[in-house]
Structure 1
Amino acid sequence: MALFVVAFTVSACGLPRPGPNKREIFAGSVQQKGNAYIVSVNDRVVQATADAPNAGFDAAFLNAGRIGADTIRRGDKLLLTVYENVEEGLFGTAGAPSTLTELQVDQTGHIFIPYAGRIRAAGNTPEALRQIITRKLDAQTPDPQFIVTRAAGDGSTVSIVGAGGQGVYPIEASTSTLSTMIAAAGGVTTDPENTRVTVIRGSHKGTVWLEDLFASNKQDIALRPGDRILIQEDTRRFTALGATGSQSLVEFPQPNMTAIEAIAYLGGLNSNLADPTGIFIFRDETPDYANRVLGRNDFTTPKRFAYVLDLTEPTGVFLGRDFEIRDGDTIYVTEAPYVQWTKTLSVLTSSAGAANSLAAATGG
């Protein structure tokens, strides 16, 4: 009995440990007038906490067909070459081509051609514009032959940040989709498995994982003039604490990660310390998720949650395999109850050994 009292006293004095035990965590629950909701993970909780769908473009992006690669737009630059069959033509001599100075389509969509005046260019193809110019000048120079070439300018470009060759690039026939434009810009310098591609079109924004972009033609959306493309390495992180193989701030190694995958990535549970019935995931839930998890509809502010996994239950591993880890989560594995008792006995036996050594040295 005396040994038990001494052991309890030593333990209560605060032996070293990585954090709170299960009892202390449960003492901080709302039910115990704390500020966190303690929720055991089950199938319903797994469904209620399932994150938003995987990154991917919505219908507005997916249903936008390709623009005509040769369609002239505001800001584009045009090269006009003229062949005339009269000795002294409007632009040159018979049989000799005359190239007009590079013309830029103005913001109203027009260009100016000598003797033809202002002509609407935007929205036409080079062939359609050639026919328009020919009709306008046919009365002034017999049977003029025009060649119109579009050199993509400010009107049909996208900007790319984060690729191997970031900059402003023209949309051409060979770069009219997201994947081909990224390739033309030099690819990516980040780990493809952990890279997200965001397209901003006006006030509309969509994001896709790089691997999904190249794995599915469906996600390879058609580009539009003015699109801004941002290529970023995934910056999501979670924290690992307690009786795990590693205690650190961990970057997500893949797009999606479950609790079991996270524990395995950390090196698994420490078999000498961990309590498999006390694996906690601490998270601040938004009002929507908090209401879903607790079956309520009155939350309007974020709430603190501590989700509990018990891997010793028959379905524990399956639940851990399905429960998703999110950005900002803290995974905390409690110590097994016997660990503190073992530490206490170690302190007592070492103290007794030291006392015996002291007594022997003093001849007591």
Structure 2
Amino acid sequence: MGALALLAGCGLPRSGPTRGEIFNGSVLREGDAFVLVVTDRVNAIASVAPALGFSSEFRDAGLVGSDIISPGDVLGLTIWENVSDGLLVPTGQNATVLEEVQVDGQGFIYVPYAGRIRAAGNTPERVRQIITDRLGDQTPDPQVQVRRVAGDGATVSVVGAVGAQGIYAIERPTRTLSQMLARAGGVAVDPEIARVTVTRGGHTGSVWFEDLYEPGHDIALRNNDRVIVEADTRAFTAIGATGAQSRVNFESQSISAIEAIAQVGGLNPSLADPEGVFVLRNEPEEIAEQLTGQDLVGTQRIVYLLDLTRPNGLFFARDFAVRDGDTIYVTEAPFTRINKAVSALTGTLGGVNAVSSAAQQIAGN
């Protein structure tokens, strides 16, 4: 047994640190990590994950009209005057036509005798009213028609994992995010892990695709909004005595420790210690303070211990939410190290016996 103990303590191959070595890394001993046994209380605090959703700047924006003029659009104007010597209408004619009046980069157009008029952000009907009012001070009862010659008005770009990427006009059937995504052919990835991000000016917000259809999550679109749809990029890493050691992408919006272990083939039945399932995570200051009951500064290293052999241990693991960037590590059972020591010892003795037999045969010859 002394030889076994010596070998077990030597540098035999293993998948990682033992349970005792991880506890030695606790702040209570010689390390800088907090090691916490998972309970219902720990789950209630640690399972709070950042929720996706749009800020009030997005949610409070009302629906825009379906014919809003934008910078760069080209308008056509027709003006009728009820006098023979009008301001704009040539002698002998009853109307004048301004075929192409482009909205400048600042959103304005210039109309003779009416001056500089803000067109961007207004509908053609509103621009007609403004021109009519200004000309009405100089010619009796002018009649004005405003039409869009070129340009799509307010537009949105939709890219990423959608049926048809492109630039789409905000029209009456596509004034909200969910409607616009439907216009773009829907999402081209699993809807459960489809993430929709909207960039508006210097602000960005994201939401899960499925949540768009919950009350209060859909938003009205604005000119030049940029919409990107992509598959969830969150992942966790599983190492140690698991069925497979790899980096695993999330397959749903939330995943428990039990589900994460199952995704990598479960615990290795010939190696794993069910008392030593650890989840390594960096927790923000406010969460760490709630977990430890201490005043802390900055992000803290937290090691969560899931002991599957404890009463309710499997329930604790089922309720423990894995987060993006987590590392799940399963320690080897103590008997595994003994088996390795025995194998190393018997293998060494077998090698010595083989060399001895070969030497005796040489001597006999």
Question: Please, what TM-score do these two structures have when normalized by structure 2?
Answer: 0.83
Q: How much has 1:308 moved relative to structure 2?
A: 0.3
Query: Which 5+ residue runs of structure 2 have no aligned equivalent?
Result: none
Decide whether the 8 Å contact of 2:161 with 2:231 is kept in 1: no
SS for the counterpart of 1:284 is: strand
Q: How much has 1:99 moved relative to structure 2?
A: 5.4
Which of 206, 217, 220 is residue 219 of structure 1 equivalent to?
217
SS for the counterpart of 1:344 is: helix
CA distance in 1, matches of 2:202, 2:352: 75
1:43-122 equivalence runs, <5 A:
43-81=40-78, 90=89, 100-106=98-104, 109-114=107-112, 116-122=114-120
Q: How much has 1:311 moved relative to structure 2?
A: 0.9
Q: Hey, what does 2:199 align to over in structure 1?
A: 200
Moved more, 324-333 or 191-200: 191-200
Structure 1 pair 145/48, CA: closer, same or farther in 2 (3 Å)? closer
Which of 279, 283, 286 is residue 281 of structure 2 equivalent to?
283
**Residue 321 (1) aligns with residue 287 (2):** no
CA distance in 2, matches of 1:267, 1:260: 11
**Residue 310 (1) aligns with residue 343 (2):** no
Q: Hey, what does 2:290 align to over in structure 1?
A: 292
Structure 1 pair 85/149, CA: closer, same or farther in 2 (3 Å)? farther
CA distance in 2, matches of 1:116, 1:110: 12
CA distance in 1, matches of 2:19, 2:332: 8
Decide whether the 8 Å contact of 2:77 with 2:144 is kept in 1: no
* Cα deviation 1:182-227 (Å, max 9, x = unaligned): 34445555554333222233343321012322x4353221012243
CA distance in 1, matches of 2:299, 2:59: 33
Q: How much has 1:285 moved relative to structure 2?
A: 2.0
* CA RMSD, Structure 1 to Structure 2 (Å): 3.4
Q: How much has 1:145 moved relative to structure 2?
A: 6.0
Identity of aligned residues (%): 49
- Aligned residue type for 2:196: V
Which of 243, 247, 250 is residue 249 of structure 1 equivalent to?
247
* Cα deviation 1:66-111 (Å, max 9, x = unaligned): 122234455544333567899999279879x975333233455542
1:224-243 equivalence runs, <5 A:
224-243=222-241
Structure 1 pair 181/150, CA: closer, same or farther in 2 (3 Å)? farther
Which of 12, 16, 19 is residue 13 of structure 2 equivalent to?
16
CA distance in 2, matches of 1:92, 1:23: 101
Q: How much has 1:275 moved relative to structure 2?
A: 0.6
CA distance in 2, matches of 1:140, 1:125: 24
SS for the counterpart of 1:279 is: strand
Q: Hey, what does 2:341 align to over in structure 1?
A: 344
- Aligned residue type for 1:200: T
Q: How much has 1:281 moved relative to structure 2?
A: 0.8
Report how many aligned residue pairs link the two structures: 357
Decide whether the 8 Å contact of 2:89 with 2:96 is kept in 1: no
Structure 1 pair 54/92, CA: closer, same or farther in 2 (3 Å)? farther
Query: Which 5+ residue runs of structure 1 have no aligned equivalent?
Result: none
CA distance in 1, matches of 2:149, 2:196: 29
Structure 1 pair 108/353, CA: closer, same or farther in 2 (3 Å)? closer
- Aligned residue type for 1:21: T
- Aligned residue type for 1:318: F
